């Protein structure tokens, strides 16, 4: 059998096309190669630039700097941010390239701040709030970034009872009352209801309607687990808090009283949304009732208001008996994310 001869014409045609493409690509790349090479970039570096920088951005490379290669070779480099990286780098030439990239990639306008590992760490935190950036950077009492954010977001970088504001009553179940937010002197909820003896054992037996219904539901639910819960102190008027706080100050002095008692107008009890349960004493923490509340109260819309190890945020010592109604959905978030009401409010409401 005779072998078939390959036709030369198609091969010649393909060869010509290939030569044209090589020539065309080479011709197009020469101006770029020349402009970057003239700045001192090696052929390898030029290839890296051409691969990672948009053509329109070549003009921003005006001098040789190996840090530019480090920037565009970074794992987190984004081509669309190239000009921002350069602008920020020019102001922070002594800073870590990875910090610069992290800060720019955050999409916050942080050009006025010096690049630092602290700033780079801050913008990666879930509860970072842009408007608080300067205060985060100024707060030096903590090194832990998450704690810095929690404290500043909660205004606890200020001295307690300074920089105060009137609480926003329109926040409903989320109204924030603490050492920075206070209620009007004569504020009193218009839907207070009195708890019956089945649910109450104290003189201050009123809660707002929704909170009261939730509290009774929680008490009934606890009974099914052989846990007995009763309110010991709920709503307190402004005038009541005046006499209570003055009594504590007279007994222990103002500094000590402020650790466990709120000043008039700054007491959460005035909202009608909180309850002191069973025993108002630190010994309550070791009871089965306290354990049940810690594990189950959120299911009924209540949160442990002054938790352990959060004293620098709430301003109060650990109170295992003090629970605050916020609603089931929000209580679950606060429980799951281990937040105080201050932290939740700053990020999810005030922000």
Tens-place pLDDT, residues 212-239: 999 999 999 999 999 999 999 999 999 9
Catalytic residue positions, numbered: 319
Question: Is residue 173 domain-shared with residue 302, that is, in the same domain?
Answer: yes
- Strand pairing partners for 182? 166
Interval 282-333: pLDDT, tens:
999 999 999 999 999 999 999 999 999 999 999 999 999 999 999 999 999 9
Q: How many helices (H) and strands (E) does the chain have?
A: 15, 9
- Domain tally, the chain: 2
Question: Is residue 197 domain-shared with residue 242, that is, in the same domain?
Answer: yes
The answer to whether the beta carbons of residues 156 and 311 sit under 8 Å apart is no
Q: What's residue 11's pLDDT?
A: 58
Q: What's residue 127's pLDDT?
A: 98
Interval 42-70: pLDDT, tens:
999 999 999 999 989 999 999 999 999 99
Residue 244 lies in a domain: yes
Write down which residue in 119, 154, 189 finishes a domain.
Answer: 154
Question: Is residue 139 domain-shared with residue 211, that is, in the same domain?
Answer: no
The answer to whether the beta carbons of residues 217 and 223 sit under 8 Å apart is no
Question: Is residue 220 domain-shared with residue 306, that is, in the same domain?
Answer: yes
Residue 6 lies in a domain: no
Encoded tokens for 119: 């700033």
Grade residue 3 by pLDDT with cuts at 50, 70 and 90: very low
Which domain does 136 fall in, by range?
Answer: 48-53+68-154
Grade residue 126 by pLDDT with cuts at 50, 70 and 90: very high
Question: Is residue 78 domain-shared with residue 212, that is, in the same domain?
Answer: no
CA–CA dist 167, 171 (Å, integer): 9
Residue 21 lies in a domain: no
Question: Is residue 268 domain-shared with residue 173, that is, in the same domain?
Answer: yes
The answer to whether the beta carbons of residues 53 and 79 sit under 8 Å apart is yes
Stretch among 4-13, 178-187, 196-205 having the lowest mean pLDDT: 4-13
For the chain, give the mean pLDDT: 92
């Amino acid at each position: 059998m005779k072998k078939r001869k390959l036709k030369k014409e198609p091969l010649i045609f393909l060869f010509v096309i290939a030569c044209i493409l090589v020539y065309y690509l080479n011709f197009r790349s020469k101006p770029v190669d020349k402009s970057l090479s003239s700045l001192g970039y090696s052929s390898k570096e030029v290839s890296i630039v051409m691969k990672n920088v948009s053509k329109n951005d070549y003009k921003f490379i005006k001098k040789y700097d190996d840090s530019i290669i480090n920037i565009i070779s970074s794992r987190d480099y984004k081509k669309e941010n190239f000009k921002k990286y350069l602008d920020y780098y020019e102001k922070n030439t002594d800073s870590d390239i990875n910090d610069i990239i992290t800060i720019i990639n955050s999409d916050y306008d942080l050009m006025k701040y010096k690049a630092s590992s602290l700033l780079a760490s801050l913008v990666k935190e879930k509860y970072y709030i842009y408007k608080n950036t300067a205060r985060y950077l100024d707060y030096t009492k903590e090194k832990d970034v998450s704690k810095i954010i929690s404290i500043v977001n909660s205004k606890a970088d200020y001295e307690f009872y300074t920089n105060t504001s009137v609480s926003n009553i329109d926040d409903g179940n989320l109204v924030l009352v603490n050492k920075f937010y206070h209620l009007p002197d004569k504020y009193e909820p218009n839907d207070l209801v009195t708890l019956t003896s089945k649910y109450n054992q104290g003189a201050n037996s009123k809660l707002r309607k929704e909170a009261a219904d939730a509290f009774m539901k929680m008490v009934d639910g606890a009974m099914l687990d052989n846990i007995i819960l009763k309110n010991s102190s709920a709503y307190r008027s402004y005038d009541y808090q005046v006499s209570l706080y003055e009594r504590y100050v007279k007994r222990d002095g103002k500094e000590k009283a402020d650790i466990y008692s709120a000043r008039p107008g700054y007491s959460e009890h005035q909202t009608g949304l909180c309850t002191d349960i069973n025993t108002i004493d630190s010994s309550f923490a070791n009871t089965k009732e306290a354990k049940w509340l810690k594990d189950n109260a959120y299911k009924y819309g209540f949160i442990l208001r002054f938790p352990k190890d959060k004293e620098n945020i709430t301003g109060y010592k650990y109170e295992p008996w003090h629970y605050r109604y916020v609603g089931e959905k929000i209580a679950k978030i606060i429980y799951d994310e281990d937040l105080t009401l201050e932290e939740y409010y700053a990020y999810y409401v005030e922000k």
